Amino acid sequence: MSPIDHKSKPRGGTDDLPPDIDLEDEAVEEMVETVGPDVAFTAIDWTPHAGDAEGMIGAEVIQTLVKRLPNAPGVYRMMNAAGDVLYVGKARSLKKRVTNYAQGRFHTTRIGRMVRETSTMEFVVTRTEIEALLLEANLIKRLRPRFNVLMRDDKSFPYILLTGDHVSPGIYKHRGARSRKGDYFGPFASAGAVGRTINSLQRAFLLRSCTNSFYENRTRPCLLYQIKRCAGPCTGEVSHQDYAELVNEAKDFLSGRSQKVKTEISAAMQQASEALDFERAAIYRDRLAALSHVQSHQGINPATVDEADVFAIHQEGGQVCIQVFFFRTGQNWGNRAYFPKADPALEAAEVLGSFLAQFYDDKPTPRNILLSHGVEDQELLAEALSTRAGRKVAISVPQRGEKKDLTDNALQNAREALGRRLAETSTQGRLLAGFAETFGLPKPPVRIEVYDNSHIMGTNAVGAMVVAGPEGFVKNQYRKFNIRSTEITPGDDFGMMREVMERRFSRLLKEHGGVPAG
């Protein structure tokens, strides 16, 4: 990737740009930080001065601003009087796109509301429409505008790591930056899927999962060796050469050469059996069973799809579900359901397209992306993802064959997941309504926080907070509090709860100046 140069001029010169563009504006630095160093991005920030539009709002203020816009690609932000960002959009031509808003003729109620609340706009002119699309996705995720399609769950995906910085490589669950030397396999849909896979791989390849410090201080094999889930390289139960062969077999299996690995283990089992070494043959038998267990939990393993993410969208009852399946090295590494926030009036193509741009903003992109529905700017999105990945990324809507079967399966899962969510939401709504009636509240609460604390014979005291709302438990807002005070008598539940309450609400007041609504 080329380095970021936010001071360079857009292609074709600056004839279309207003004379008061400040190439040294602080907002430019903010935009560069937003996109990050991994994206080749050149932007010029220009916030039009709306002094002559003071007191105006809606289409009137947009008409004032549009007069000075360039006919160039870029990103625009619409903001209300309080400075809150209402909407972030990108355009091939800022002037033409914003002119549509200024005319006051809207196709949907949503756009009409959005324009009526707009009191000012900000613009970033980019060199290309690809750069505009990448910046738009990043800003939507960071600013979370009310009128955009928003991802609600954006946790990073877990990977399996086979380390390469030790004489006896270990196998671990990994999440986050890939800064440690080794081989990474993934993404997996959930930490649970990684944990189950690692457990089976340990039984199949006898790889260690201990820390390096634990490894260095062993004088005798640990429990994992005793239960046949580790070869015991720490105490010399297996030679470094033989252990390296196990590691290579694990890499082959995770790289999609599973049949080759199973054939070799079967041959070794047969050889041991013919030599009447039945104990060794039993070890190979157990390893084969562990590999079969891994594959049986992977569900569909396509023969013609080596590397792809499969997306399917289903809309019902004013809500949206997007189901994502991950296929790597011809293996199914799980699926995850997303429920983005989107206006019910939006078409599936628009919701899915916006979701995809945000989804891959900070995630590695596979070589193929299969969709249940075509999306807006599909070719542009493919080109943008290819630019970011440094290789070709293909986006397609399969019409037949195995790929069509994969999207159909994902669509069926999306329907079922959304059906379950609608049922849970309905039940939760009835519970909250009953709660409000029981306690005489004017309306059902939108947020409930539950606190508890615990300790072990007065030591290791902790407090916990769980959160529930109209859609059920909100797990990404759970919190744990390690009790810090040394003045609390061991086992004093009231003292521990007081500390949890003080810390929780003092931080809330400091950050937000109040408590959550509801």
- pLDDT 10s digits, 375-384: 888 999 999 9
pLDDT of residue 39: 43
pLDDT reading at 37 higher than 70: no
Flag the least confident range among 45-49, 203-207, 483-487: 45-49
DSSP 3-state of 429: helix
- pLDDT 10s digits, 431-467: 888 888 898 889 999 899 999 999 988 888 999 999 9
pLDDT reading at 56 higher than 70: no
Dist. CA 116–CA 60, nearest whole Å: 9
Structure confidence at residue 152 as a pLDDT band (50, 70, 90) = confident
Dist. CA 369–CA 40, nearest whole Å: 22
- pLDDT 10s digits, 373-423: 998 889 999 999 998 888 899 999 999 888 999 999 999 999 998 888 888
The predicted model gives 123-150 an average pLDDT of 89
- Pick the more confident residue, 29 or 505: 505
pLDDT reading at 483 higher than 60: yes
So where are the chain's domains? 26-143, 159-296, 308-421, 448-512
The predicted model gives 61-72 an average pLDDT of 83
Does domain 26-143 match CATH 3.40.50.80? Answer: no
pLDDT reading at 15 higher than 70: no
Identity of the residue numbered 193? A
For residue 355 the two structure tokens come to: 């979701």
For residue 410 the two structure tokens come to: 């994902």
Structure confidence at residue 55 as a pLDDT band (50, 70, 90) = low
Structure confidence at residue 508 as a pLDDT band (50, 70, 90) = confident
Structure confidence at residue 51 as a pLDDT band (50, 70, 90) = very low
- pLDDT 10s digits, 326-357: 888 777 888 889 999 888 888 898 899 999 98
pLDDT reading at 323 higher than 90: yes
pLDDT of residue 258: 66
Structure confidence at residue 300 as a pLDDT band (50, 70, 90) = low
Cβ–Cβ < 8 Å for 86, 147: yes
pLDDT reading at 118 higher than 70: yes
DSSP string, 117-176: H--EEEEEEESSHHHHHHHHHHHHHHH--TTS-B-S--PPPPEEEEE-SSSS-BEEEE-S
For residue 76 the two structure tokens come to: 């625009």
User: Phi and psi dihedrals of 442, rounded to 5?
Assistant: -65, -25
Cβ–Cβ < 8 Å for 263, 363: no
Dist. CA 382–CA 397, nearest whole Å: 13
User: Which secondary-structure segment (H or E) carries 247?
Assistant: helix 240-254
Cβ–Cβ < 8 Å for 472, 424: yes
For residue 55 the two structure tokens come to: 């007191």
- pLDDT 10s digits, 71-106: 889 899 998 888 889 999 999 988 888 888 887 666
Cβ–Cβ < 8 Å for 428, 472: yes
Dist. CA 495–CA 490, nearest whole Å: 9
Of 263, 245, 247, whose CA–CA distance to 209 is shortest?
247
Identity of the residue numbered 25? D
DSSP string, 197-223: HHHHHHHHH--B-S-HHHHHT-SS--H
Dist. CA 14–CA 223, nearest whole Å: 69
Strands of 368-371's sheet, edge to edge? 331-338, 319-328, 308-316, 368-371, 394-396
Cβ–Cβ < 8 Å for 225, 231: yes
Burial of 496 (0-12, 13-18, 19+ CB in 10 A): buried
For residue 390 the two structure tokens come to: 């440094």
**CATH number of this structure's domain 308-421:** 3.30.420
pLDDT reading at 3 higher than 50: no
Of 321, 361, 351, whose CA–CA distance to 338 is shortest?
321
For residue 91 the two structure tokens come to: 């355009």
